[in-house]
């Protein structure tokens, strides 16, 4: 039992301790200030005063959550006053009607709050279409399964889906709008819609306008009540501009033309803004890594500053397309141009959060007396050798999967699978030989006869056929990879994956008893009970572990590997491919731990047996190899 005196002393100590903890919390959580923001008299008005927006695009989904604050501090130290971010619909609606705004890097509300704490305003770009070199332009893959659904079109099924998305998003961010004391000062209505209007001339402008007006109205109906804007090339305003939204011009470097075009669609006045000012550019596998000089970026920034033009660097920091989030483009020579895992973008802040010459140059131009110091660089480590103790043929994993059987090969969507791989298999009772034609391949396949590799087909190179000889009582296997759905252009509506048309051999359509094994690779396969069975030329799963006494960012060296994906401590850090130009994979130190760490690699080609893998201190993003 305590005496009254002891209880009194304890109570005083408890009060003192509570006060100390409250003070400590107050010191660690930055105070935020409420503001007013409006577009009035041709200006952006903050707290009743005209301002210029100096923003940088940075996507929460492409940065590990523990690094959000560091990257936002980097932006603030560059002299910026706002951060712009897309919202990725498919990142949050993981299954029809199932929403995730909390796990992993998905807590967008926390990202926006952190930006406010670091003294940055937020420009929100909810789409529903975002482009962004992101899988399917942000659309959930399963929309294609909805009867009557036409994405980005004026139809009831699609508009019901967008309304549900906007409603779910508003529930997360409503308290973060500037009208409610938060940092979100502007919201975009649709995204680059003028481009889509120009690409889809088979749809009337009137019908396009009905769609964009309907989506814009949905944003307002669910509760978004801050200033709106649109963003398009200045020559595309007719298709993309929306009444009641400020038109901004992407990539427009001519200040006079910018002002003239905005005036035409905005009642003869500003404010004037370039919502996407490109200090770098996007990157595809098998193509040179594009570079934009720091001098040209600085020169254009000076034009905007002198011309009273607000701007948003796209990207100020690109980050990484972790997992299966990277999208794809296409052109006349390639049916698909898959985007790299790295979204470095040659941006002022590198993929790993480092200040570049471009960053330092722009900071000198943009900083003021109040601009904070550049935060310290996150430590970097090299891991000389990671031993791979397991090497298991993918066939062993496949044998534990119950196949789906059909008369013809089914697409990923028909198999109710969004990403990863599908193993198509057919037994032949009679021999057949000749040309194998796989015109409906989406996107990459390795072909085997009785377990022996006989061909490699690829939508990038438009390589859809190979010679084949299938003997009596043999098995044909085709392992197909989805390399990311189209994110830009009219072909976005044709983003079905897998084998989407008949398999033809020697002019004959091959039907009957196709077995399909689903390999989504959304988690690390369990190899614990499996024996080493890998052989050269066969798809292989490798596993290993490594111990660390200290953690830090690092870059896995994949230059001697073929094609596949890597998991670190259960997280898919992305795709590698020997063609380059990316030859390393970024491993955030916050996903490593002192003590034991696990690695798993799915190697599709396996041209040699690997015993180990290592990491290096510097990324390699610009080394092409001949396939």
How many C-beta atoms lie closer than 10 Å to residue 331's C-beta? Answer: 10
The Cα 617–Cα 363 span in angstroms is 25
Pull the structure tokens for residue 559.
Answer: 């230059």
Inter-axis angle of helices 156-173 and 205-222, nearest 10: 30
Q: How many CA atoms within 13 Å lie on the side-chain side of 291? A: 10
How many C-beta atoms lie closer than 10 Å to residue 269's C-beta? Answer: 13
Q: DSSP letter string over 468-490?
A: EEE-TTEEEEEEEE----B-SSG
The Cα 146–Cα 144 span in angstroms is 6
Pull the structure tokens for residue 624.
Answer: 């092409």
Q: No. of H helices and E strands in the chain?
A: 12, 35
User: Annotated active-site positions, please?
Assistant: 192, 276
Contacts of 296 (CB under 8 A, 6+ apart): none
Biggest distance spanned by C-alpha atoms of the chain: 98
Query: In this structure, are strands 82-86 and 54-57 parallel, antiparallel, or unpaired?
Result: parallel
Contacts of 247 (CB under 8 A, 6+ apart): 229, 230, 232, 237, 240, 241, 261, 262, 265, 266
374: DSSP letter: P
Cα dihedral value 67, 72, 77, 78, nearest 10: 110
Nearest to 561 by CA among 534, 543, 583: 583
The Cα 13–Cα 432 span in angstroms is 87
Q: Where are the beta strands (DSSP E) in 321-428?
A: 328-329, 337-338, 386-393, 404-406, 421-428
Cβ–Cβ under 8 Å, residues 338 and 481? no
Q: Where are the beta strands (DSSP E) in 138-260?
A: 184-188, 228-232, 246-249
């Amino acid at each position: 039992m305590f005496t009254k005196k002891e209880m009194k002393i304890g109570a005083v100590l408890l009060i003192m301790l509570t006060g100390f903890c409250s003070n400590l919390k107050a010191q660690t959580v930055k105070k935020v200030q409420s503001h007013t923001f409006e577009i009035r008299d041709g200006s952006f008005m903050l707290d009743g005063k005209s301002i210029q927006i100096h923003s940088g695009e940075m996507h929460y989904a492409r940065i590990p959550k523990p690094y959000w604050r560091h990257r936002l501090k980097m932006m603030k130290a560059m002299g910026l006053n706002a951060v712009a971010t897309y919202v990725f619909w498919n990142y949050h609606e993981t299954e029809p009607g199932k929403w995730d705004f909390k796990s992993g890097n998905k807590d967008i509300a926390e990202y926006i709050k952190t930006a406010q704490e670091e003294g940055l305003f937020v420009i929100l770009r909810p789409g529903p279409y975002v482009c962004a070199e992101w899988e399917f332009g942000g659309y959930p893959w399963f929309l294609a399964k909805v009867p009557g659904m036409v994405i980005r079109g004026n139809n009831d099924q699609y508009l019901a889906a967008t309304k549900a998305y906007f409603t779910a998003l508003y529930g997360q961010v409503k308290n973060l709008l500037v009208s409610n004391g938060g940092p979100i000062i502007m919201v975009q209505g649709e995204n680059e819609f003028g481009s889509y209007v120009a690409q889809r001339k088979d749809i009337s402008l009137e019908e396009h306008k009905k769609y964009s007006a309907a989506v814009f109205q949905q944003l307002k109906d669910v509760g978004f009540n801050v200033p709106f804007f649109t963003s398009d090339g200045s020559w595309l305003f007719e298709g993309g501009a929306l009444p009641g939204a400020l038109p901004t011009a992407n990539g427009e470097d001519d200040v006079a033309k910018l002002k003239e075009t905005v005036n035409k669609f905005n009642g003869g006045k500003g404010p004037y803004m370039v919502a996407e000012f490109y200090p770098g550019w996007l990157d595809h596998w098998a193509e040179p890594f594009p570079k934009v000089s720091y001098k040209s970026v600085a020169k254009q920034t000076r034009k905007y500053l002198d011309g009273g033009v607000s701007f948003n660097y796209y990207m100020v920091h690109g980050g990484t397309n972790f997992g299966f989030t990277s999208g794809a483009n296409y052109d006349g020579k390639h049916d698909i141009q898959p985007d790299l895992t790295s979204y470095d973008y040659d941006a002022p802040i590198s993929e790993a959060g480092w200040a570049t010459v471009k960053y330092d140059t722009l900071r000198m131009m943009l900083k003021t007396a109040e601009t904070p110091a550049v935060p310290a660089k996150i430590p970097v480590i090299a891991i000389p050798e990671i031993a791979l103790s397991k090497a298991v043929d993918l066939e062993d994993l496949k044998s534990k999967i119950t196949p789906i059987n059909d008369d013809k090969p089914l697409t990923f969507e028909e198999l109710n699978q969004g990403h990863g791989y599908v193993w198509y298999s057919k037994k032949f009772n009679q021999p057949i030989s000749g040309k194998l034609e796989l015109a409906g391949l989406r996107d990459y396949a390795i072909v085997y006869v009785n377990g022996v590799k006989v061909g490699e087909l690829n939508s990038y190179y438009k390589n859809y056929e190979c010679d084949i000889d299938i003997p009596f009582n043999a098995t044909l296997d085709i392992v197909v990879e989805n390399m990311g759905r189209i994110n830009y252009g009219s072909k976005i509506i044709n983003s079905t994956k897998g084998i989407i048309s008949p398999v033809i051999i020697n002019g004959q359509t091959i039907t009957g008893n196709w077995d399909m094994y689903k390999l989504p690779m959304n988690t690390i396969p369990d190899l614990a009970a499996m024996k080493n069975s890998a052989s050269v030329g066969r798809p292989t799963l490798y596993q290993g572990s490594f111990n660390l006494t200290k953690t830090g960012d690092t870059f896995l060296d994949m230059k001697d590997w073929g094609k596949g994906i890597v998991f670190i401590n259960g997280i898919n850090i992305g795709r590698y491919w020997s063609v380059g130009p990316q030859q390393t994979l970024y491993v955030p130190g916050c996903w490593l731990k002192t003590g034991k760490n696990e690695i798993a690699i799915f190697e599709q080609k396996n041209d040699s047996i690997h015993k180990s893998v290592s990491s290096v201190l510097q990324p390699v993003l610009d080394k092409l190899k001949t396939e």
